[in-house]
Chains A and B, each alone.
Chain A
Amino acid sequence: MSEGALPKEDAVLRVDDLQKSFGGLAATDHATFAVERGTITGLIGPNGAGKSTLFNLISGFYEPDGGTVEVNGTDVTGLEPYEVADHGLIRTFQTPRKLEGMTVREAMLVGPRNQPGESFVKLFATPGAVAESESTNLAEAERILEEFEIDHLAAQPATDISGGQMKLVELARAMLAEPEVLLLDEPVAGVNPTLAKKLKDQIRRLNEQGTTFLLIEHDMEFVMDLADPIVVLDQGSVLTEGTPEGVRSDDRVIDAYLGGGT
């Protein structure tokens, strides 16, 4: 139905004919698209178009009724979220809950995947290796915090920073997990313009360094400026896909946003 279904040579994420319904209502209706390596792909659509459901299906939080999800050429359909993450797909949440009793630095250190210190046995069998990885991770966390220009927050309780700062920390932490493709769920929702600009710059910088992004965002200005290509979702399926200019001038997109649907 949409030209976006054409196979792409170097797709880091491939969604094929994905379906999910809740109580008979199709939330995701044969959605097909791919995210090419090295892009910042935007995922937009009117309220209730099924963007969040799609994210949950891709990242393993929901099990699809049909269709497949491939990350780096590996079929990850039906895997647990942690297994999907192990294939290099990391996601963030629209409204991150604050980590109680942790400093920002500690919250950052949850990011790195498969730390030796996450094995209870290794804590006592090989404490040296645990300490080594912990100090590497700590140094890396502080480096990334500096790059994000939020290193002054490191010792703050994670519960005390603003929502916008939390979004920055979330992005910074996700980078510690070394994602090949990073799914951002409304990265600038409720974030003030200054911080939003900062987030945009960071996403662009990380993209230039090789991270692929797929992001949901309601702020059209933000997404049109940052993302290319853009995938438009309506009523659970891909309506169209293309450059920001192409999407902007597409009548079907305008209809969808005006509530006309089909």
Chain B
Amino acid sequence: MSLLSDPEAAIADLSRPEKWVLGVSAAFALFLLAALLTGALGPTYFLFLVGLAGMYALLSFGLNAQWGYTGLINFSVAAFFGIGAYGSALMTADSSPIAGGFNPLVGLVVALVLAFVLALLIGIPTLRLRADYLAIASLGLAEVVRLIVLNERWLTNGSAGVRGIPSFFEGWPVLSTFPETMPGLRLVVIPGSPILLETSFWRASLNVLLVLAFAGATFLVLRRAHQSPWGRVLRTIRSDEDLARALGKNTYSFKMQSFVLGSLIMALAGVFYTHLNLYVGPGDLDPITTFYAWVAVILGGSGSNRGALFGGIVIVTIREGTRFLNDVALPIDPAPLRLLLIGVVIVAVMRYRPQGILPPQRELIWPSAVDDAGSDPPASGVREQKGGGDDE
């Protein structure tokens, strides 16, 4: 809001990394716009990328609610993503070996219930463990989940995966037929390279709508939770669990809540992926997905929701940028290049900016309480302190 009414002041108020991120984002947006207008980037593919970015942002939100808030080292992100994807795919797809053909909303609910159960199954034994043991144990249990998905063909189709998945809006009034009923548009911005907006474009825009709805709702829930006393207990546990216990907080219960909440968000990302990709396979449970989410969170800034959003966009840039590079410039297999970039980013962040690029900076107190108490607005407290010394 303030950005619109008084852009100069709003920009001057930003810290240096914030300006930096804003600048890079603006440049990147301009670059994409130029690519779109010249026809170098197809609009449907662009929307697919936006959907993917939203999906990684959701995954990062989920991990942020566990690692960023509470300090839980969850290396089973891929398992929750996969259980969300498989849960909805198995309920809705034609080729589902068990149920199939249900409304995608049923799939959504089933996926979330499955993720809830899995979160309890993994959380109950591991959340009492030391932080580094939790890392090892959760990676191991995620691998168990992957092996089950791969081998229990009667349940999951095994390595063949699940095909024939409907779009999320199948069976909805208006929206289910929206892509077909919209007219094909032909935009000519630059003569000679028209931009075609056809059924696939409208279908992709529905997906973007869906991921915006998922991510928006998640963001609102997380923002409220993060600045509440609930979130404050989680942040205390991250720094000093014994202190929280001594002050009368049932830390095991709080850790479980944080773990379940994050896991449900990851499953939501999986549900979206199912209806975006229209195919799921055991490869989607590969641990690399876990570490994509990790890079997004630590790069963006652990505990920072906007950082997670930023990290999600960076991940898509790495994923699709390496593919693009392989197509046009360097004939390097994109898979190891991605792996290399991910590795380098992890090491570089831990070396030069362990708090991430956009660490949470604002004081987090329930907003209306600050007004009621009539104290000076603390919204700028930490920022002012950090403004001078912390910007490197």
Give A contacts to B, CB under 8 Å.
59-61, 80-82, 85-86, 90-93, 96-103, 105-106, 109-111, 113-120, 123-124, 127, 130-135, 137-139, 142, 154-157, 160, 173-174, 177
Contacts and interface: CB of A to CB of B under 8 A. Distances in A.
Contacts of B381: 103, 105, 154-156
B369 A85 contact: no
B248 A90 contact: yes
A131 B369 contact: yes
Given A138-B369, A155-B378, 9 more contacts: A61-B242, A101-B360, A102-B232, A120-B230, A130-B228, A134-B366, A155-B384, A156-B381, A160-B385
A107 to B, nearest CB: 8
B244 interface: yes
Contacts of A127: 224
Interface string B199-240: 000000000000000000000010011001110110110111
B232 A109 contact: yes
Contacts of B249: 82, 110, 118
A123 B364 CA distance: 14
B375 interface: yes
B277 interface: no
B243 interface: yes
A60 B250 CA distance: 12
Given A82-B250, A101-B235, A130 B386 contact: no
Nearest to A110: B236
B373 A114 contact: no
- Which are the 4 A-B pairs with shortest beta-carbon distances? A155-B381, A85-B248, A117-B229, A134-B369
B247 A99 contact: no
A111 B247 contact: yes
B258 to A, nearest CB: 9
B359 interface: yes
Contact of B245 (A81, A96, A130, A177): A81
Interface in B356-372: 359-360, 363-366, 368-370, 372
B43 interface: no
Contact of B363 (A93, A114, A116, A155): A155
Interface of B: 221, 224-225, 228-230, 232-233, 235-236, 238-240, 242-251, 257, 261, 303, 359-360, 363-366, 368-370, 372-373, 375, 378, 381-382, 384-386
A125 to B, nearest CB: 12
Contacts of A142: 373, 375
Contact of B247 (A110, A157, A160): A110
Contact of B232 (A82, A93, A110, A119): A110
B366 A117 contact: yes
A134 B229 contact: yes
B246 A85 contact: yes
Contacts of A100: 235, 238-239
A106 B246 contact: no
Given A80-B250, A105-B363, A123-B224, A97 B243 contact: yes
A59 B232 contact: no
Contacts of A102: 232, 235-236, 239, 363
Given A118-B249, A177-B248, A155 B385 contact: yes
Nearest to B260: A120
B366 to A, nearest CB: 4
B224 A61 contact: no
A103 B245 contact: no
B230 A119 contact: yes
Contacts of A110: 232-233, 236, 243-244, 247, 249
Nearest to A156: B385
A108 B382 CA distance: 15
Given A101-B359, A105-B378, A118-B233, A92 B246 contact: yes
Contacts of A82: 245, 248-251
A81 B228 CA distance: 23
B37 to A, nearest CB: 42
Given A93-B246, A131-B372, A103 B378 contact: yes
A96 B375 CA distance: 27
26 contacts: A59-B246, A60-B245, A82-B245, A82-B251, A85-B245, A85-B246, A92-B246, A97-B240, A103-B378, A105-B363, A109-B365, A110-B236, A110-B247, A117-B228, A118-B249, A119-B230, A120-B230, A127-B224, A135-B368, A135-B369, A135-B373, A155-B378, A155-B382, A157-B382, A157-B386, A173-B247
